[in-house]
Amino acid sequence: MTTHTRDVEVGIVGAGPAGLMLSYLLHLQGVEAVVLEKHSRHHVEQRVRAGVCGQPTVDLLRDIGLGARLELEGLPHHGFSLRFDRRDHRVPLTELTGKRITVYGQQEIAKDLIRAHAEKNLPIEFEVSDVALHDLDTERPCVTYVDATGNAVRLRCAAVAGCDGFDGVSRHSLPSGVLTVYEHEFPYAWLGVLAHTPPSHGELIYAAHERGFALHSMRSPELTRLYLQIDLGDRLEHWPDERVWEELQRRLDTVDGFRLREGPLLDKSITSMFCFVAEPMCHGRLFLAGDAAHIVPPTGPKGMNLAVADVRRLAYALHRLLRRCDPEPARTYSESCLRRVWCAQQFSCQMTAMLHRDPDADDFARRLALAQLRHTVSSRPAAASFAEDYVGLPFE
């Protein structure tokens, strides 16, 4: 098979929001990039992922001219409820911080970015295979792959960005011993369902219940997203629709008779709960971003917002490196990102522990978690600190 060689300044592996956002930010700074994605465009635009955008992410989308559909279709929230003792305790985000969150699905951001790429003829190659990274320790790293038509391609780059998620090839292309990995697994999982029914509440509800955690969220005025804490090793066949609704109703019940609107379940999935950080987030001319470098528990919500923070910083660093011959922002990229990553880990883990029933914890630990919940909603300084972390710390 003949290999076609192409030159590009930045090769980006992965067309999730991180890779697409990086490509677009580089374009705005005059840096050429090519995005490679193993899945089809349809798959990328339809896969359901995180749905809460922090204030810094929303501001960035607006600043680069991609906030129009988010403004029209996104669901702004000025607070959310911590539900325990069968009562709601509202955290007024905007009142406490002057900021808000916006419910707008990750796949919707991907659609907006893909459309923007198409309008400006920025290259995204979908359905590529056999992606491999080479010569990462040199100033001309390469990405080889087979394109959608079966042609072998060698992409010669000045830098490579690994935005291909936890299981992608980028991080696994690094030599053994380069990375230090920090991991923690929680002793439970999440069952997530998408219901074709209007949300039962105007804001998100995080419920701490003696039977386990539950979350009421939404994707649109017609679609509700709900989660249940379940046992490790539990399987989807153990959760018929009737059992899902019964358990959700029980955990989200209140003394004033709150009832969920029920409807057909369009999707069910199980998500493991774990934390992961790989340090450093770069090696040679390979830079990792988003889930390729770190995973946070979804309770936060921080995953997609952290990825956006990564690539915002990376776009600046690569522009300085390739256009101004200034290597300093690229040299400090990992250290700068990791400060934010560990702050997000701390908040997400604290929130997770506070709301979930740990099967390995004793009654003393459970009483501590309940005390923390009560302090968070009864102390304005505590609530303000919690709200500031939740809406997202400002970008530097």
**Contact predicate 269/17, CB 8 Å:** no
Write the pLDDT tens digit of every residue in 113-125.
999 999 999 999 9
**Sign of CA pseudo-dihedral 284, 286, 290, 294:** negative
Amino acid at 262: E
236 φ, ψ to 5°? -60, -35
- pLDDT for the residue 1: 64
Distance CA 255, CA 296 (A): 33
Quickly count: other Cβ atoms within 10 Å of residue 308's Cβ.
27
The rounded distance, in Å, linking the Cα atoms of 296 and 251 is: 24
pLDDT of residue 49: 72
CATH of domain 3-76+104-182+275-350: 3.50.50.60
Amino acid in position 300: G
Catalytically active residues, by annotation: 77, 206, 298, 302, 390
223-271 confidence digits (pLDDT tens): 999 999 999 999 999 999 999 999 999 999 999 999 999 999 999 999 9
Per-residue b/e over 381-393, b at no fewer than 16 CB within 10 Å? eebbebbbbbbbb
User: Mean pLDDT over residues 270-295, rounded?
Assistant: 97
Average pLDDT, stretch 28-50? 92
Give percent of the chain above pLDDT 70: 100
CATH 3.30.9.10 fits 184-273+364-391, yes or no: yes
Closest CA to 160 of 353, 305, 23, 306: 23
Structure token digits, residue 207: 């419920």
The tens digit of pLDDT for each residue in 164-207 reads 999 999 999 999 999 999 999 999 999 999 999 999 999 999 99
- Report domain extents, the chain: 3-76+104-182+275-350, 184-273+364-391
- The pLDDT value given to residue 205: 98
Average pLDDT over residues 7-27: 97
The distance in angstroms from the start CA to the end CA of the chain is 47
pLDDT tens digits along 137-146: 999 999 999 9
β-strands 214-220, 223-230 pairing: antiparallel
